[in-house]
A and B are shown apart, each in its own frame.
Chain A
Amino acid sequence: MTIATANRNLISELESVLPAGSKSEPAVSKAWEQFIQTGLPGQKSEEYKYAPIARQLEKLPALKPSAGDVLLPTPLPQFLSGQTCNYIVFVDGRFSSAKLADKEVKVTTRTTEESHDAKDPFEWLNAAFSPSLTIITVEEGVALQHPIAIVYHSSGRGTLVNPRWTLQLLKGSKATVIEMCQPHAYELFQNKKSVIEAGEKASLEYLILQDGTPAQTEVNHTEVRCALSSYASCFTISLNSRFVRNNMKLVVDGSQVEAHLYGLYLPSGDSLIDNHTVVDHRQPESFSNEMYKGVMNDRSKGVFNGKIYVRPHAQKTNAFQSNRNILLSENATVNTKPQLEIWADDVKCSHGCTTGQLDEEALFYLRSRGIDKRSAYAMLLHAFVAETFKEMKMTQWKETIDGLVTSRLLKV
């Protein structure tokens, strides 16, 4: 079967499971029109060159959203056990419930309207299947006492889940946010779209933890918009999934913004983790720093694509990017590509990417002191990857991630 026919089949399959009557809603019908116009990215798609998503979706059971509302007892992920959080729970991609610890957090819903600048077909697909948008708001001037935890549960009844939410950090507010799936073993496709708007002088620490869903295929659209004098620090930690594509977009929409994007990916087996990032400097005098690191084992694949745009108006921008990779096996691969487009002339930008093996001399040095090969390996890899989460201010999360990463690295 060629990819072209596969696409057609997938699209008609998707059309057949659009909720009854939803196409009569203008927003849904428009989103669906846009989606079929763009189609699913095929082999020739530049953006999905190394992430053959259509072929991957073909392997999954028939794609369908779960019918009706699913009410589930929703246990909290182990990662958050014992922690008081503002929980916002999605089941099968739909907003289910909120359990809020801080009164300054509000959750509302309204009809989805996809923004006109959406380019990726999966954003339109999400809009077509998510007629309702969940909006979380943090009041002006409030430093939240507890983190916001956005948790995705799966009942196993739907194979197509489209969570969609927006978080607004109003002027001068401060929040720590985690987004994760409750671990499950279902074969399903998660197609997420989220936007965080950090208002003027707002401060955000944001962790996306991808772990515990070994059979899940994911495409995640994550957008973080930073207004004047805001601060954002984002961590995307991908430990365990079959096929992950993260589209992370950071929009620097004000001056005096400080923004950090960190990423860590540890694919193994036959898995693929693809991080496409965009840092878009639209206003002058802001700073962004991006550091992504990957360790590829077995037959796995890693992909990094980092775009930095510095618009003509964005003078005095400082934008830095680095991507470093270690291949542990001869059959593992990584494709990395920095893409800088700079229209302003008074900026400081740099990028660098490296791919290599573990330093044999360093390994021998540790072993010559009595440390066994496996521990020496783990020590060196840990030192390599720990840089991607060492700036995390939520020490409890940082330590748990450190533990998860360490135990993963001891297995290689």
Chain B
Amino acid sequence: MKGHSLREYVGLDEVVGPIFVIRNIHNVGYNEQVEIVDADGKSRLGITLEVGRGMAVVQVLGGTSGLSLNNSRVRFREEPLKIGVSEEVLGRVFDGLGNPLDGMPKPLNEHVLDVNGLAINPTARDYPRNIIETGISSIDVMNTLVRGQKLPIFSGSGLPHDMIATQIARQARVKSEDFCVVFAAMGVKYDTARFFIKSFEESGVLDRVAIFLSLADSPSIARILTPRFALTCAEYLAFQKNMHVLVIMTDMSNYCEALRELSTIRGEIPARKGYPGYLYSDLASLYERAGMIKGVNGSITQLPILTMPNDDITHPIPDLTGYITEGQIVLERELHSRGIYPPVAGLPSLSRLMKDNIGKGLTRDDHPSLSSQLFSFYAHVKDIRALASIIGEEELAPLDHQYLKFGDEFEKRFLTQGYFERRTLEEGLDLGWDVLSLLPRDELVRIRKEDIDNHYKARTP
């Protein structure tokens, strides 16, 4: 807020959904804060979506219900949307716009920051280097998570993505003093939010978590800002307070739908499935806020969760997300219905930052080739299963039977683990070898001889 008094206007010209148009005004900047006071004296927040000579289009974050054309008062704040931040945000619960929900006063502001953030200069970025051991083998061994990475969970409704996210948050903490979680819930049900808060509580990290809730019953438009508030907080904690911040954002599909809703109301030209053409740029403006900066100890690691509409990975939301994030953990309904937890799909899951951060001197020498071999065998298992479903299992060659056996063990022993089971990377790798040893040595074409000599112990199923 600038020091001088604010200009106030009375009366609106048009209200459509969460948007209103106001005319006969001047000196209003694009993308700035607006305060709207309705006839009852209730105040709500808005931002300018479009400004022109003598007019502005404003998006109201608290919804427009109860606004009248004549009696509404509008104040232009002449600055973009901002949030006050300090370390006191940890352990607190806020609504989607940064107001406390836990009945306690607003935390002290050490800094007031623009929620839109600024792009990190690519020359100032540091390449993510340290792996985060999540204790989940399907991630650690197969799709290693790296500090500063953005790795979304592609899920579907009814799949245990929330459990996986909380399990990672619980098991990934290395040293408690510099680790914290920023949690943003967008349009999820109260139960889901409750589940997260409860599991943070149970694992004793609640005082290291800042929670931003924009639940399913709050105006959809506020959802667009929730992740921006959360990420601004995260940037402060990571880059000014040197913390390692894990940002969990759920559910990105709700965020995108809010964006589509707004775009439609504004009469914009839609691109695919009614989503606006700038969906990619908009998502990037969130996801790209993950990372590390040279000379700064902290980091932002993002774990966005999105439910793929109809389990369709080619839907614009997962599709554009996949083009921005550094890999994805895909959950598979078929594994889930067979009772396998975590149901991490073997093949479409990927961590792009893995290759530079595992192997000799980083994790274990055999890690890269072991994971590559497991991936390729598992792909082959899928082919054999397809063949078996046509010609019948009895007709398969003996080697193919061995592959099927491998596939079963891979899913039931390697992938499967308990919600509270923390498996170290070492244990995960050894288990991988154990499963691999079901297959004859000659089949292991992707692994170097030394590694095979060291780890391979042939066993007959």
| Interaction A to B | no
Give B contacts to A, CB under 8 Å: none
Give A contacts to B, CB under 8 Å: none
